[in-house]
Amino acid sequence: MSTIRLPEATSPLRSERVAAVLGIALGLTFTTCFMTGLLSHQIQDPPSWFSWPTRPAGLYRVTQGVHVATGLASIPLLLAKLWSVFPKLFVWPPFRGWANGVERIMLLPLVGGAVFMLFTGLANINLWYPWPFNFRRAHYWVAWITIGALVVHIGAKWATTRAALRRPPAPADAAQRADRQDRRQFLAATFGISALVTLFTVGQTVRPLSRLALLAPRRPDVGPQGFPVNRTASAARVVDAAQSDDYRLVVDGNVQQQLSLSLADLEAMPQHEATLPIACVEGWSTSQRWGGVRVRDLLTMAGAPHGSEATVRSLQARRSYRTSELNSSQAADRDTLLALRVNGEPLHLDHGFPLRLIGPNRPGVMQTKWVERLEVR
Amino acid sequence: MSRSEPPTTRGFLVGLVIGTTMIAFGIGGLVSTTSTASAFDVGTWVVGADLAHDLVLAPIAVICSILITRLVPRPWRTPIRSALIASAVFTIIAYPALRGFGRATAPGNPSVQPLDYPTALATAIGAAWAIAAVWLAAIAVRTRRSRPRVRMANADTARPEVEGEDPT
């Protein structure tokens, strides 16, 4: 085996051990991102066997906060790892036997997939879409491809990694000792930079650190009424419909009595308050005190059967996320509200005036704004 | 790099079966839930991501690494290299906000990318260099303190043997 003699191929910073330590770290962070990502995907499109609970109310905020924070923290780890193995790209001959050939071919979906996942994730939290495909589908399916390639890679590198992590031979001389110290400091610096990335971004969901969120695309306390907005009323083209005097909330479907309620009717109903987070899939979150009407009160008033489910519809025309689903436990939860107010004020138009859904343990995209209809099943 | 044995162990075969099944599931899902053209676009971007790293990012990193080795005295290298890596990583992460891409996607939404990102990025990079400066100062102090001992004896044996691993 020979390598093209890149000037850096013999850098003392590169070693099997450095590659192994960074590989293990990335294995953990990518697995964390994959699991939390799968979970978020199931919550948004639940298969029949999957039922997401309403408690703890802030669970999704944690799992999705971890998803985005871990992805961001992986950026320096991935770059350091790729740097540590870069000369191996030029190994000659390219394949030694079929197994080595398979292992090396799998580096394309592994490296391409890993860079793709981190780049598309970073762009998405910034609402930047420089590609011609649907972000969510691409990010989801390429995750399977990337993690599949990672599983192949782990199988292929298991023995190498274990060998590399065994206690290394003592340095023979001062030069080797200095090289080892350089490698340790390189690893320490990589993890340190990863920690700094977290420190400078995680404040978009961890409120006490919000002032340190220098590199995050959101601040949890910036926006109308003191918290962020994803889609504005004008972007959703509901400005007129939401402020119309003809606004009614319709409750229909599998009910004994169809309801059509004006804003005054809704305000005359028993009002309830709940402090619940908006937890965006893009990794920011903010907890607010919401006030309004319980969904379960509306279902009772309409004579819906016990255990009903409901589809919540927005005034928005077209666009994805104009509806969301409430399963039976979500519809029956005491804190699942159609909110009229936040922190005692009427909702800002961009936060869903006149009426928005807010429920415990739901992704932000499923906290439907400008609600006009509750379809009971 | 050490020569590693061809990985035809049982672990390799197990990983190969599970991993290729997941890859096939991912490709199948991509093709079945999007148009062929769209799946092809995604594939192009995955390959493009690999090439962007191998042909652009990695060569830049190699050139920077060579420059650091040539220009920076050895004791200072690690802090300076670390601060440079941190600066690059922070710039990559802030890049979409620096360019205001989110603001362009969501006009009239001041809660998207609300900061003055050139200042915010400079602050983050400044913090990394401040840490590097403290690190460099610590190295300078340590070097000065150890110098008298080095003069008294051979430079190598005078180093503190923290881990007692010296084979002699």
| ipTM of the complex, rounded to two decimals | 0.94
pLDDT of residue A172: 86
pLDDT of residue A321: 81
Kindly state whether residues B35 and B21 are assigned to the same domain: yes
pLDDT of residue B159: 44
Kindly state whether residues B28 and B89 are assigned to the same domain: no
Cis before B167 (ω within 30):
no
Instruction: Identify the band that residue A3 occupies on the pLDDT scale cut at 50, 70 and 90.
Output: very low
pLDDT of residue A29: 98
By CB atoms closer than 10 A (0-12, 13-18, 19+), residue A166 is: exposed
Bridge partners (DSSP) listed for residue A339:
A292, A356
Q: In chain A, what residues touch B130 (CB-CB under 8 Å)? A: none
Note whether residue B3 is domain-resident: no
Given a cut of 90, whether residue A92 has pLDDT beyond it is no
Q: Where are the alpha helices (DSSP H) in B99-116?
A: 101-105
pLDDT of residue B160: 43
The contacts found for B47-56 with CB under 8 angstroms, 24 or more apart, are B47/A108, B47/A112, B48/A112, B49/A111, B49/A112, B49/A113, B49/A115, B49/A116, B49/A119, B50/A108, B50/A111, B50/A112, B50/A115, B51/A112, B52/A115, B53/A82, B53/A111, B53/A115, B54/A86, B54/A89, B54/A111
Instruction: Identify the band that residue A228 occupies on the pLDDT scale cut at 50, 70 and 90.
Output: very high
Instruction: Identify the band that residue A171 occupies on the pLDDT scale cut at 50, 70 and 90.
Output: confident
With CB atoms and an 8 Å threshold, state whether A193 touches B89.
yes
In chain B, positions 102-131, which contact chain A (CB-CB < 8 Å)? 102, 105-115, 120-121, 123-124, 127-128, 131
Q: Is pLDDT larger for residue A99 or for residue B21?
A: B21
b/e map B109-148, b = 16+ CB within 10 Å: bbbbbbbebeebbebbbebbbebbeebbeeeeeeeeeeee
Q: Are A370 and A315 in contact (CB under 8 A)?
A: yes
Note whether residue B151 is domain-resident: yes
Find, among A336, A251, A364, the residue nearest to A53 by Cα: A336
Kindly state whether residues B166 and B95 are assigned to the same domain: yes
Q: Are A117 and A142 in contact (CB under 8 A)?
A: yes
Instruction: Identify the band that residue B167 occupies on the pLDDT scale cut at 50, 70 and 90.
Output: very low
pLDDT of residue B155: 43
Bridge partners (DSSP) listed for residue A2:
A92
pLDDT of residue B149: 53
Find, among A233, A267, A270, A263, the residue nearest to A249 by Cα: A263
pLDDT of residue A139: 98
Q: Are A259 and A251 in contact (CB under 8 A)?
A: yes
Kindly state whether residues B92 and B28 are assigned to the same domain: no
Kindly state whether residues B93 and B146 are assigned to the same domain: yes
Kindly state whether residues B79 and B158 are assigned to the same domain: yes
Mean pLDDT of chain B: 86
B167 φ/ψ angles, rounded to the nearest 5 degrees: -70, -20
User: What are B79-118's pLDDT values in tens digits?
Assistant: 999 999 999 999 999 999 999 999 999 999 999 999 999 9
Cα A101–chain centre separation: 35
Q: How many CB atoms lie within 10 A of CB A309?
A: 19
Rg of chain B in Å (alpha carbons): 25
∠ CA A362-A365-A371, rounded to 5°: 95
Find, among A80, A90, A96, A132, the residue nearest to A4 by Cα: A90
∠ CA A10-A76-A143, rounded to 5°: 110
Given a cut of 80, whether residue B6 has pLDDT beyond it is no
Q: In chain B, what residues touch A128 (CB-CB under 8 Å)? A: 96, 101-102, 105
Note whether residue B6 is domain-resident: no
Would an 8 Å CB–CB cutoff place A175 in contact with chain B?
no
Task: From residue A63, give the alpha-carbon distance in Å to each of A2, A41, A59.
Answer: 45, 12, 6
Rounded Cα gap, residues B53 and A112, in angstroms:
8
Count of structural domains, chain B: 2
Average confidence (pLDDT) over A303-318: 94
Rounded Cα gap, residues A337 and A340, in angstroms:
9
Kindly state whether residues B50 and B84 are assigned to the same domain: no
CA atoms lying within 13 Å on the CB side of residue A303:
5
Helix A97-105 crosses helix B10-33 at what angle (to 10 degrees)? Answer: 40
Note whether residue B91 is domain-resident: yes
Transcribe A44-101 into DSSP letters.
HS--TT----S-STTHHHHHHHHHHHHHHHHHHHHHHHHHHHGGGGGEESS-SHHHHH
Bridge partners (DSSP) listed for residue A313:
A323, A373
**Among candidates A72, A108, A159 on the partner chain, residue whose Cβ is nearest the Cβ of B93:** A72
A245 φ/ψ angles, rounded to the nearest 5 degrees: -70, -20
Query: Which stretches of chain A are assigned E, i.e. beta strand?
Result: 2-3, 91-92, 249-253, 259-261, 272-279, 285-294, 310-314, 323-326, 337-342, 345-346, 356-358, 371-376
pLDDT of residue B151: 47
User: What are A319-373's pLDDT values in tens digits?
Assistant: 778 999 999 999 999 999 999 999 999 999 999 999 999 999 999 999 999 999 9
Kindly state whether residues B91 and B150 are assigned to the same domain: yes
Rounded Cα gap, residues A34 and B21, in angstroms:
16
Kindly state whether residues B20 and B66 are assigned to the same domain: yes
Structural domain for B33, as ranges: 15-71
User: What are A112-152's pLDDT values in tens digits?
Assistant: 999 999 999 999 999 999 999 999 999 999 999 999 999 99
Task: From residue B4, give the alpha-carbon distance in Å to each of A88, A90, A129, A159.
Answer: 12, 15, 41, 9
Cα A53–chain centre separation: 18
Instruction: Identify the band that residue A14 occupies on the pLDDT scale cut at 50, 70 and 90.
Output: confident
Kindly state whether residues B157 and B122 are assigned to the same domain: yes
User: What are B114-166's pLDDT values in tens digits?
Assistant: 999 999 999 999 999 999 999 999 999 988 888 665 444 444 444 444 443 33
Note whether residue B133 is domain-resident: yes
Instruction: Identify the band that residue B2 occupies on the pLDDT scale cut at 50, 70 and 90.
Output: very low
Find, among A329, A111, A185, A208, the residue nearest to B136 by Cα: A185
Would an 8 Å CB–CB cutoff place A262 in contact with chain B?
no
Average confidence (pLDDT) over B29-55: 95
Kindly state whether residues B78 and B161 are assigned to the same domain: yes
Cα dihedral angle (A266, A270, A276, A281), rounded to 10 degrees?
Answer: -30
Kindly state whether residues B79 and B30 are assigned to the same domain: no
Q: Are A14 and A48 in contact (CB under 8 A)?
A: no
By CB atoms closer than 10 A (0-12, 13-18, 19+), residue B99 is: middle
Given a cut of 70, whether residue A38 has pLDDT beyond it is yes
Q: How many CB atoms lie within 10 A of CB B55?
A: 9
User: What are A245-277's pLDDT values in tens digits?
Assistant: 999 999 999 999 999 999 999 999 999 999 999
Q: In chain A, what residues touch B9 (CB-CB under 8 Å)? A: 155, 158-159
Mean pLDDT of chain A: 94
Given a cut of 70, whether residue A209 has pLDDT beyond it is yes
pLDDT of residue B127: 98
pLDDT of residue B165: 39
Shortest Cα–Cα distance, A261 to chain B (Å): 30
Q: In chain A, what residues touch B107 (CB-CB under 8 Å)? A: 235
Least CA distance to B65: which residue of chain A?
Answer: A8
In chain A, positions 48-67, which contact chain B (CB-CB < 8 Å)? none
pLDDT of residue A289: 98
**Among candidates B30, B105, B123 on the partner chain, residue whose Cβ is nearest the Cβ of A128:** B105
Rounded Cα gap, residues A130 and B159, in angstroms:
54
Q: In chain A, what residues touch B75 (CB-CB under 8 Å)? A: none
Instruction: Identify the band that residue B8 occupies on the pLDDT scale cut at 50, 70 and 90.
Output: low
Note whether residue B107 is domain-resident: no
Note whether residue B7 is domain-resident: no
Find, among A204, A205, A241, the residue nearest to A369 by Cα: A241
pLDDT of residue A201: 98
Q: In chain A, what residues touch B21 (CB-CB under 8 Å)? A: 148
Rounded Cα gap, residues B49 and A121, in angstroms:
13
Note whether residue B42 is domain-resident: yes
